[in-house]
Structure 1
Amino acid sequence: MKSITYILFACLILFSSFAKKENQKVIIKTTQSQIDRDSIIAFAKKHLGIRYAYASSNPQKGFDCSGFVSYVFSNFGKTLPRSSSGYKNIGKTLKPEDFKVGDILVFYGYKDKSVIGHVGIICEANGMQSKFIHASSGKAQQVTITALDTEHYTKRFYKCVDVLSE
């Protein structure tokens, strides 16, 4: 009789320890499903200075603009287009006063204003005076932070999208 009691007691302890772990997992999953915008930027900033490399999303080789954005967001479980043209019709389009850290800026091409040609992630939100982190094929030739209100980017601005609230 005592052995059955001990077995039942051991099973109860074992079951309750699994239940606690399961509850902890649920809490962790809930936290992870709500991507922290500041964490996205902190992770992106770890890649400042990595060289520009056309058609690459590999930090060892370098990044192009969409490769950088997709790489950063994939680290948080968010799959985004691998080509800048894929950003034309995704996300919720925002007004400048609604820009937030972690939103994606979408720009027309440098030479062709009829196609999407560049993307970046807002790292300091302040409407059209925001700053963004991106892999630049311009003078910088690396992952860098740029002000949106520079003439080069203001002229090419297409939209800003929120891909995290979807």
Structure 2
Amino acid sequence: MKRLKAVSMGLFVVSLFCIQGTSFANSPKKKVDVDLNHAYNVLVKGNSKPATNKHSNRKATVKKTTPHKYKALQIAKKQINKRYKWGGANPNKGFDCSGLIQYAYKMIKVNVPRSAAAQYKHAKRVALKHLEVGDLVFFHTRRTRAKVNHVGIYLGGNKFIHAPRRGKNVSVASFNSYWRKKFVGAGRV
């Protein structure tokens, strides 16, 4: 029951924040970094310390992450607001979801497969309760044969970076009811 109340409170806080009209698409990149690092309890420079959400007095402990996951996350953050391009895997042409992940890890010399389904098979499974900043989150969003067809990189604070779909830029999303229903699993590279 306590967990249900905590989840409900978290969703309430996120919905209040969304109602206030905050938009990542119209925010300057520097402001996005500040918002991500401070308002959303995102790990800053690999430290493991409590962070306070500015919309709540509750403290959330952000789990420590590995240096390579932190670097990949920073690279992914720099791609926020870049355009979506099906089959895209670079900042000049744009990204699809798996291309964004592959690019972020390629920049730190870690090879990951190209498709979301292959990345899911490649990653070491992680339980949702053990999710760390920089882990990959996998979803099934369409009626396809593939069990997994969408991927993002976890920011902490129930948020992840992803390249959503045509017409939408790389952005931050929260684990709202839509994404929770579509969630397949998490993995660690």
TM-score (normalised: structure 1): 0.68
The number of residue pairs the alignment matches comes to: 124
CA contact (8 A) 1:132 1:147 kept: yes
CA distance in 2, matches of 1:61, 1:97: 36
Q: Matched residues in 1 for 2:143 and 2:79: separation?
A: 27
Tell me by how many angstroms 1:70 deviates. 0.2
Matches within 5 A, 1:66-81: 66-81=98-113
Q: Does 1:100 align with 2:125?
A: no
Counterpart among 151, 157, 161 of residue 177 in structure 2: 151
The question of whether the paired residues in 2 share the 8 Å contact of 1:110 and 1:156 is answered with: no
Are 1:113 and 1:156, in contact at CA under 8 Å, matched by a contact in 2? no
Distance in 1 between the 2:68 and 2:105 partners? 11
Structure 1: 5+ residue stretches without partners: 1-33
Offset at 1:113?
7.3
Aligned residue number for residue 168 of structure 2? 141
1:45 positional shift: 1.0
Among residues 149, 152, 163, which one is paired with 1:117 in the alignment? 149
CA positional deviation for 1:35: 3.5
Q: Secondary structure at the match of 1:69?
A: helix
Q: Distance in 2 between matches of 1:60 and 1:105?
A: 25
- Structure 1 stretch displaced more, 74-83 or 110-119: 110-119
Q: What CA deviation, in whole Å up to 9, does each residue of 1:43-70 have, x standing for no partner? A: 2111110010000102111100000000
Could you tell me which residue of structure 1 aligns to residue 14 of structure 2?
A: none
User: Residues of 1 paired with 2:108 and 2:71: CA distance?
Assistant: 9
- Cα offset for 1:42? 1.9
| Per-residue CA distance 1:4-53 (angstroms, 9 max, x = gap) | xxxxxxxxxxxxxxxxxxxxxxxxxxxxxx73433322221111100100
Aligned to 1:65: 97
1:132 is aligned to 160
| 1:113–1:100 Cα change, 3 Å | farther
Q: Does the 8 Å CA contact 1:56/1:67 hold for their aligned counterparts?
A: yes
**Aligned residue type for 2:122:** I
Contact 2:112 2:122 in 1 (8 A): no
Q: Secondary structure at the match of 1:88?
A: helix
Percent of aligned pairs sharing the same letter: 29
RMSD: 1.8
* Matched residue type, 1:69: I
TM-fit CA distance, 1:111: 2.8
Q: Which has the larger radius of gyration?
A: 1
CA distance in 1, matches of 2:95, 2:83: 7
- What SS does the aligned partner of 2:117 have? helix
